[in-house]
């Protein structure tokens, strides 16, 4: 294992995606297209026609939700207008003049699959449906979803609205890295407030896999006559997190159960750790001239491969006293197959008080 140390710099978390072909195609699934991947590396554990371009129905709302949560100010109330909600299909009952937050709109998409919620997000975040669709496609390209084309924010069928099982799995793996997204999609129900004036409502999650499979915590269902039943799901069990996708699957719940049973037996989970005992943070004006450091958490890493990784360590050149135990003083990045898979804050492991002057 290599260790690289440098001064601490301001950083932005980047999630880089990588794929590995799977030769396995032995499960008898109802799905026309299917895949299950490691959420950490996007390695393929099982696949069936995973690169075939198909419509993906309301699983589209995963992307719409991602863009909404990344937009910011998700708790601010927004005013609904008639043009925002002029869409057919499933609905959370939005009316002209209603006040609702972006976070509640995301809940309306992920739990109740409201097309009106998706359209409202598109207008609020993008300014118009076409502008928001461009944002969706730009984000897809950024994430490596090269076989995907979005035409609507809700997932209603369109000639240029399609994806693949693999691309949707990549999207799902990206989405659940957002704690707010994960918290919403794993709720079986939620109490929300919106309207004119806002009043109490209850949203119910349509994802039955939450009850059918131990460790399931998401992600999104979908259905149109053209696409058939579509499902993007995620499961965390024994420290391993997997994402599965089926497109056009009449028996999607059982398809996902079969894939997870197969995949969890194939992947391994490891703790990503680094011994930092030989690295000290210089402290200026303290009762000690240095402090020990440690990783704030020990992340899990799920891979089909054997564990081979290296890390890069970034720490501040020095810190002024007082330094308190738990203060963030740097970060450590972990790489697998030269792809950055995660980063963890580095913190002070002890308190160093200010030196008293007599």
Residue 16, pLDDT above cutoff 70: no
Strands 3-7 and 310-315: parallel
Domain co-membership, 203 together with 164:
yes
Give the range of the structural domain holding residue 337, as residue numbers without chain letter: 3-15+271-348
Total domains, the chain: 2
Domain co-membership, 204 together with 319:
no
Of 231, 266, 301, the residue that ends a domain is 266
Q: Residue 341: its pLDDT value, please?
A: 82
Q: Please, which pLDDT band fits residue 358 given cuts at 50, 70 and 90?
A: low
Domain co-membership, 142 together with 60:
yes
Q: Does a structural domain hold residue 285?
A: yes
Q: Residue 239: its pLDDT value, please?
A: 87
Of 282, 278, 293, 298, nearest to 346 by C-alpha is: 293
Q: Does a structural domain hold residue 242?
A: yes
Residue-wise pLDDT tens digits, 85-108: 999 999 999 999 999 999 999 999
User: Catalytic amino acids?
Assistant: 58, 61, 113
Q: Does a structural domain hold residue 358?
A: no
Q: Does a structural domain hold residue 24?
A: no
- SS3 call for 151: coil
Domain co-membership, 324 together with 214:
no
Of 275, 326, 274, 271, nearest to 299 by C-alpha is: 271
CA distance 223 to 90: 11
Domain co-membership, 202 together with 333:
no
Q: Does a structural domain hold residue 20?
A: no
Q: Does a structural domain hold residue 145?
A: yes
Average pLDDT, stretch 59-67?
98
Domain co-membership, 66 together with 44:
yes
For 320, 327, 335, 344, the CA distances from 274, given in Å and listed in that order, are 25, 18, 13, 11
Domain co-membership, 112 together with 217:
yes
Domain co-membership, 150 together with 239:
yes
Domain co-membership, 231 together with 300:
no
Contact present, 238 and 269 (Cβ < 8 Å): yes
Q: Does a structural domain hold residue 40?
A: yes
Give percent above pLDDT 70 in the chain.
Answer: 92
Domain co-membership, 190 together with 42:
yes
Q: Which residues of 132-171 are buried (b: 16+ CB within 10 A; e: fewer)?
A: bbebbbebbeebbbebbbbbbbbbbeeeebbbbbbbbbbb
Query: What CATH number is associated with residue 207?
Result: 3.40.710.10
Domain co-membership, 198 together with 89:
yes
Q: Please, which pLDDT band fits residue 19 given cuts at 50, 70 and 90?
A: very low
What are the beta bridge partners of residue 234?
A: 218, 243
Domain co-membership, 179 together with 297:
no
Of 117-131, 218-232, 296-310, the one with minimum mean pLDDT is: 296-310
Q: Does a structural domain hold residue 160?
A: yes
């Amino acid at each position: 294992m290599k260790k690289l140390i440098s001064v601490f710099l301001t950083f932005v978390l980047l999630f880089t995606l990588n794929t590995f072909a799977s030769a396995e195609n032995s499960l008898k699934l109802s799905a026309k297209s299917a895949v299950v991947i490691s959420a950490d590396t996007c390695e393929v554990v099982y696949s069936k026609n995973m690169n075939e371009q198909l419509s993906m129905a309301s699983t589209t709302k995963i992307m719409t939700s991602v863009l909404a949560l990344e937009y910011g100010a998700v708790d601010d109330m927004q005013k609904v207008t008639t043009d925002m909600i002029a869409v057919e299909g499933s609905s959370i009952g939005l009316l002209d003049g209603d006040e609702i937050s972006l976070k509640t709109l995301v809940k309306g998409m992920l739990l109740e699959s409201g097309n009106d919620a998706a359209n409202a997000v598109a207008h609020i975040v993008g300014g118009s449906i076409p502008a928001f669709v461009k944002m969706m496609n730009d984000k897809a390209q950024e994430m490596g979803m090269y076989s995907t084309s979005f035409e609507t924010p809700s997932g209603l069928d369109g000639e240029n609205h399609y994806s693949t099982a693999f691309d949707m799995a990549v999207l799902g793996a990206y989405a659940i890295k957002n704690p707010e997204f994960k918290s919403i999609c794993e709720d079986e129900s939620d109490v929300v407030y919106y309207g004119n004036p806002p009043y109490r409502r209850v949203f119910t999650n349509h994802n039955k896999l939450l009850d059918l499979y131990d460790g399931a915590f998401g992600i999104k269902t979908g259905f149109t006559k053209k696409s058939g039943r579509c499902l993007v799901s995620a499961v965390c069990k024994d420290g391993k997190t997997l994402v599965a996708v089926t497109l056009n699957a009449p028996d999607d719940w059982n398809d996902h159960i079969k894939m997870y049973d197969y995949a969890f037996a194939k992947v391994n989970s490891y703790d990503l750790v680094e011994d930092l005992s030989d690295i000290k943070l210089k402290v200026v004006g303290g009762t000690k001239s240095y402090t020990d450091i440690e990783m704030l958490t020990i992340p899990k890493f799920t891979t089909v491969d054997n564990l081979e990784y290296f890390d890069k360590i970034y720490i501040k050149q020095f810190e002024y006293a007082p330094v308190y135990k738990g203060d963030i003083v740097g970060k450590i990045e972990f790489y697998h197959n030269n792809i950055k898979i995660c980063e963890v804050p580095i913190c002070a492991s002890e308190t160093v008080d200010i030196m008293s002057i007599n």
